[in-house]
Amino acid sequence: MESFLVRMCIEAATESAAAVEKWRRQRRTLESMPSHLAEALLRHLLRRRLLFPSLLEVFKYSVEEIDLRGESCVDAEWMAYLGAFRYLRSIILADCNRINNSALWSITGMANLKEVDLSRCSKVTDAGIRHLLSVPALEKLCISETGVTADGVAGLASLTNLFMLDLGGLPVTDSALSSLQVLKKLKHLELWGSEISNEGAVLLKTFPSLSSLNLAWTNVTNLPNLSSLAYLNMSNCTIHSLFEGEGHKACLEKLVLSGVTMTNVSEAFQYVETSKLCFLDLSSSSLQSFSFLHSMSALTNLNLCDTALVDDSIEHIAYIGANLRYLNLSHTKVTSEGIGALAGHVPNLEIVLLSGTHIDDTAVSYISVMPSLKAINLSKTNVKGLIHQESDVSDGIPTFAALQNLSHLERLDLEEIHIKDAALHPLTNLGRLSYLSLRSVSLTDASLYHVSSALKLVYLGVRDAVLTDSGLNCFIPPPTLEVLDLRGCWLLTKDALSLFSHKHPQIEIRHELIETLDKRNFQYPSTSCTTTKNSQHKRRQGKPSTSPLRSDEIFLDQRLKYSREELLALQFSSATVSPSTHQGNPRP
Amino acid sequence: MKKEDTVKLISAEGFEFVIDKKAAMVSQTIRNMLTSPGSFAETEHGEVTFPEISTTILEKICQYFYWSLQYASGKETEFHIEPELTLELMMAANYLHT
């Protein structure tokens, strides 16, 4: 990490365009600068919108890695300067939509370049790829969702040092893949959305070190035995068999099969060595039977969201529950009974997601005996938070009281359930709860009163509730609260919301009547969110002033004109006088 | 002030800055030099020479040491850095781990 003074120097050096002019001619110093300092300085310049092509030249001998991801201004002129970077090892140009084939000409022959990321640069085609072929040291290449065709991909065969190749979303054919067989160092291969078929999949055996493979959205149904594989993604494929064949079986660790269709599950998994498998995603798949889970005793993450899972299958999960940390059963047909079958078998479970299921309040008591839980999602279920006993005429017994046994619980999602104020009372005793999300039309001011004593809350959502201005006014938020989400609370007025945010400036309020401001505006009130247009403006002006009295300046956003203290001071005094401060909400 | 409570920092041009040991210890590098076991010349004489750091920058560094002590004790003042000095100061700060 950069030391404190280094950070202060970088801040000072990137304070304004004028500051940059003061140091940019210190050529010898810039040339001898350690790469991590030069890269930090460059990152800051980019963030402050102070970087322009000819300024890149000063980093020619110092920068080794550059990340320009998503910068739409990066074009052939930038590339011309970057091409002269003597020691450049890595260049990330993902989502730079002005990068085209001729822009890539600049990086031909760069001897030290090992990583190039051109993901989603749609103007790059086969002609652009030809420029890359003269970069012999290239190890990582990402050209997913570019305009490259199968011919262009076949040409990559000359880059024999490649160990990571992302060809996602490209029309890679079996014959293009067969010409890549010379890439013996390949470890990581992305072929999602390609035209690879079963014949092409057989060729994958010729990559001796392949450990990570993505074949999602392809027509591959039979995958041969790939002994070095640890990660496989075949989402949205139809799978007949995996790893059938001779030899040492692959020790898979991570398997993503979201949205797959399997005709016969036991047949498909027959050859899979599952003893090391710790991550399995079968969400939205067509599975009916889950008995195959028995052999997967190392699983820590299991996602069965949106499958046809019913209570009867829970026993298979319980059987391998000892190591489970994450379990997603959202939108399945599981009921409280199923959760009961799971309780007691999942000692290490930290996250359980049950939204959109038919569980009710009895499930809450089962959940409360899963000792390691940190996050629970019960949104869109039949949980009401109160159990009515027949003999009892009062409100009923709050079920969330049982959750007090869970000493690690940090996050609770209770959106879109029929929950009443009285049900929330036990939540205040959850010592570690930092995230609470509520969304119900039957909640009122009393809910706010209850949760105000949950002292560790960082995020609180009370959406679509019948909160009133006076209720908000009386609300004493927990000291750690950072976000208060009140969207859909239609009774609240703008005055009440701004009064609250005036009283608690550290809390970000979300509501339809509040325009959210980017927090960064306040950290660098003078220069951060400037566009190219007004940064030129500032170059002339020198050090920008934050005085609200300066009338000759044109600000794109009136709020940038003021510092936060000034905004707070102006909030009430000027609202009636000056229309320009009308929209000045003091809080982001 | 006793001699053992101070250190002498010498710039590339040979200018000498005598400052409190406590202030100099803000730099992790100087702290290591002064406290490391064995009899380094630095430890014995309380003198450190920086052949790579110019007088202007070393002066600024010394100012920073004192500012940093004040800042740590809760006195929040601004430490102004002239843009001309930022690059060299940054490299010196990087070397001194401060």
In a domain, A4, yes or no: no
CA A415, CA A462: separation in Å to the nearest integer? 9
φ, ψ of residue A376 in degrees (nearest 5): -130, 135
Question: Which tokens go with A520?
Answer: 């960064």
Q: Does A17 touch chain B (CB under 8 A)?
A: no
Contact: B94, A3; criterion CB under 8 Å: yes
Ramachandran category for residue B83: left, alpha or beta (phi over 0 → left; psi -120 to 50 → alpha): alpha
* DSSP bridge partners of A303: A281, A328
Query: Rounded to whole angstroms, how far apart are CA atoms A430 and A421?
Result: 16
The residue to which tokens 């035209």 are assigned: A195
Q: Tell whether A473 is covered by a domain.
A: no
- Residue B18 CB neighbours (<10 A): 13
Q: Which residues pair with A326 in a beta bridge?
A: A301, A351
Domain edges within chain B: 3-90
Taking CB atoms and an 8 Å limit, are B97 and A23 in contact across chains?
no
Higher pLDDT, residue A542 or B87: B87
Domain assignment of residue A262, given as a range: 149-277
**A55 and chain B in contact, CB less than 8 A:** no
Q: Distance of alpha carbon A352 from its chain centroid, rounded?
A: 19
- Which tokens is A307 given? 């499958």
Residue A581 is predicted with a pLDDT of 39
DSSP letter at A289? -
Q: How far apart are the first and last CA of chain B?
A: 25
Q: What does the alpha-carbon distance between residue A251 and residue A239 come to, in Å, rounded to a whole number?
A: 19
Q: How many domains does chain A have?
A: 2
Nearest by CB to B64, from A5, A29, A32: name it: A5
- With respect to residue A45, please indicate whether it lies within any of the assigned structural domains: no
- For residue A467, report the phi and psi dihedrals to the nearest 5 degrees: -90, 145
CATH class for the region spanning B3-90: alpha beta
Q: Which residue has the tokens 């091409």?
A: A83
Torsion over CA: B55, B61, B62, B67 (sign): positive
Q: How many Å lie between the alpha carbon of A21 and the closest alpha carbon of chain B? A: 9
How many cross-chain Cβ pairs, A to B, lie less than 8 Å apart?
63
CA B93 to chain A, closest CA, distance in angstroms equals 6
Helices (H) and strands (E) in chain B, counts: 5, 3
Tokens read off for A411? 């996050």
Residue A265 belongs to a domain: yes
List Cβ neighbours of A576 (8 Å cut-off, separation of 6 or more). none
Q: How many CB atoms within 10 Å of residue A352? A: 22
CA distance B56 to A29: 15
Three-state DSSP at A244 gives: strand
Q: What is the pLDDT of residue A539?
A: 38
Using CA atoms, how far apart are residues A83 and A104, in angstroms rounded to an integer?
Answer: 9
Closest alpha carbon within chain A to B90: A6
Distance from C-alpha of A328 to C-alpha of A354, rounded to nearest angstrom: 7
* Structural domain contains residue A349: no
User: What is the CB-side half-sphere exposure of residue B70 using CA atoms within 13 A?
Assistant: 11
Q: Which of A258, A277, A296 is the last residue of a domain?
A: A277
- Residue B32 contacts A where some CB pair is shorter than 8 Å: no
Domain stops at, among A254, A277, A300: A277
Please name the member of B83, B88, B89 whose beta carbon is closest to the beta carbon of A22.
Answer: B83
Closest CA to A381 of A410, A360, A403: A360
Contact yes or no for A3 and B93 at CB 8 A: yes
To the nearest whole Å, the CA of A48 is away from the closest chain B CA by 16
CA dihedral (A354, A355, A361, A364) in degrees, to 10, reads 40
Look at residues A385, A268, A288, A266 and name the one whose alpha carbon lies nearest to residue A332.
Answer: A288
Beta strands in A147-216 (DSSP E): 164-166, 188-190, 212-214
What tokens does A152 get? 């262009």
Residues 47-66 of B with CB under 8 A from A: 64
Q: Which of B61, B68, B87, B97 to mutate to test the interface with A (most CBs of A within 10 A)?
A: B87
Q: What is the CATH number of the domain that holds A248?
A: 3.80.10.10
Contact A212, A234 (CB under 8 A): no
Prediction pTM value: 0.78
Mark the ranges of chain A whose per-residue pLDDT is less than 50: 517-559, 561, 574-588
Task: Determine contact: B68 vs chain A, CB below 8 A.
Answer: yes
CB atoms within 10 A of CB A519: 10
The burial of A183, by beta-carbon neighbours within 10 Å (0-12 exposed, 13-18 middle, 19 or more buried), is given as buried
Give Cα separations from A103 to A75, A118, A127, A129, A156 (angstroms). 7, 12, 11, 11, 19
Question: Residue A564 has what pLDDT?
Answer: 59
Kindly state the tokens that stand for A532. 């190219």
Please provide the distance, in angstroms rounded to a whole number, between the alpha carbons at the two ends of chain A: 29
Residue A202, phi then psi, degrees to nearest 5: -60, -35
pLDDT at position B40 is: 65
Tens of pLDDT, residue by residue over B32-74, are 888 877 666 666 778 888 999 999 999 999 999 999 999 988 8
**Residue A471 belongs to a domain:** no
Strands (E), A440-491: 459-463, 483-485
Contact A68, A90 (CB under 8 A): no
- Verify whether the Cβ–Cβ distance A5 to B83 is below 8 Å: no
The domain boundary, picked from A277, A306, A334, lies at A277
**A498-530 per-position pLDDT tens digit:** 999 999 989 999 998 887 544 434 443 333 333
| Distance set, CA A512 to CA A459, A488, A509 (Å) | 18, 7, 10
**A290-310 residue pLDDT tens:** 989 988 999 999 999 999 999
**Least CB–CB distance from A23: residue in B68, B79, B86:** B86
Return d(Cα A220, Cα A203) in angstroms, integer: 12
Is A488 exposed, middle or buried, given 0-12, 13-18 or 19+ CB atoms closer than 10 A?
middle
